[in-house]
Amino acid sequence: MRKLLNIFLVIILLSACSKNESNDEIKLSSLVKADFSYTQDLFDCTLNENGSLIALESFFSKNIEEYKNIAELENLNISIFFPENNTNITNFIISIISNNNPLGLKKFIDAVKSDDITEVASCSFAIFQHKGIKLKEELINNNNPFINAEILRCKYNDTYNFGTFQISINRFINNLRTIDLPYSISYLKDNSKNDSFIWINYFYTEDYEDILLKNWANNKDSAEIQSEFSANATCIDSKKYKSYKLI
């Protein structure tokens, strides 16, 4: 059952256009562009050999007012993604959502570097400004400081694109409206690779896996969507995280 659930957590991020779609339809779909509304960067970090999560927490806590001022001034939304179900965490991701503001983003990066984040962890601060769109946004009052998240890095198969993807996504989201599951979906155009994208699922309940198993994994639509997905795109990896909103 867990294997079946993992399959779902891959296909929830994308379903593809029908395999029977004509070449003309595919060509027309290439004209459809995403209505991107923000930019987001994901910086991979690794704790130093003598580093720890306690040291990381201490680093951000002692400098939090400085970082809040930068975030408010530059309209930055900063979160940290920690790997799920990992008792010995050595890697994490700093996620920064910005409003097409690479200079403001760089100001934050310069600040953490100046405050010697390298004493705690090494981070790859390569700015790509991935263009993002919220395919589904759940407006929910969540008192839990951590949100369940899944990040998938994917590449379109030949002849497929956002246009073919969007048609199926709209159908997919409509099908899921019958499930009582609060979640959001973000789509990022991966500027670091050609024909690639990053898909992020956010789940706001701890029992989301049980809900999916009960209401979707054994549904006939699940197999159909999986088949459509395979025709449209290939995901390089899929990883689960606990997302903590820093600022």
Residue 143: what pLDDT? 73
Is residue 179 classed exposed, middle or buried when 0-12, 13-18 and 19+ CB atoms within 10 A define those classes? Answer: middle
Task: List Cα–Cα distances, 42 to 78, 191, 194, 239, in angstroms.
Answer: 10, 11, 17, 14
pLDDT of residue 19: 45
Which is nearest to 161 in space by CA: 11, 20, 25?
25
Q: In whole numbers, what is the pLDDT of the chain averaged over residues?
A: 85
Global pTM? 0.85
* Three-class secondary structure of residue 125 per DSSP: coil
66-95 pLDDT tens trace: 999 999 999 999 999 999 977 789 999 999
The token pair at 203 is 């789940």
Strand blocks (E) in 25-145: 38-47, 77-83, 91-98, 121-123, 130-136
Inform me whether the pLDDT recorded for 28 exceeds 60.
no
In sequence order, the β-bridge partners of residue 96 are 41, 78
Residue 21 corresponds to which amino acid? Answer: E
Split at pLDDT 50, 70, 90, the class of 33 is: confident
**Contact (Cβ atoms closer than 8 angstroms) between residue 83 and residue 92:** yes
pLDDT value of residue 157: 94
pLDDT tens for 112-134 read: 999 999 999 999 999 999 999 99
Q: What is the mean pLDDT of residues 95-107?
A: 95
CA gyration radius, the chain: 19
pLDDT the model gives residue 186: 96
Q: Reply yes or no on whether the pLDDT at 104 is more than 90.
A: yes
Q: Is the pLDDT of residue 147 over 60?
A: yes
Does residue 5 carry a pLDDT above 80?
no
Q: Is pLDDT at 15 greater than 80 in this prediction?
A: no
Confidence check: pLDDT of 241 > 90? yes
Task: State yes or no: pLDDT of 179 exceeds 90.
Answer: no
**Domain annotation for the chain: domains and CATH numbers:** 2-37+132-245 (3.30.70.100), 39-130 (3.30.70)
CA angle 71, 72, 77 (to 5 degrees): 50
% of the chain beyond a pLDDT of 90: 56
Residue 40: pLDDT over 90: yes
Contact yes or no for 181/203 (Cβ under 8 A) = yes
Residue type, 228: E
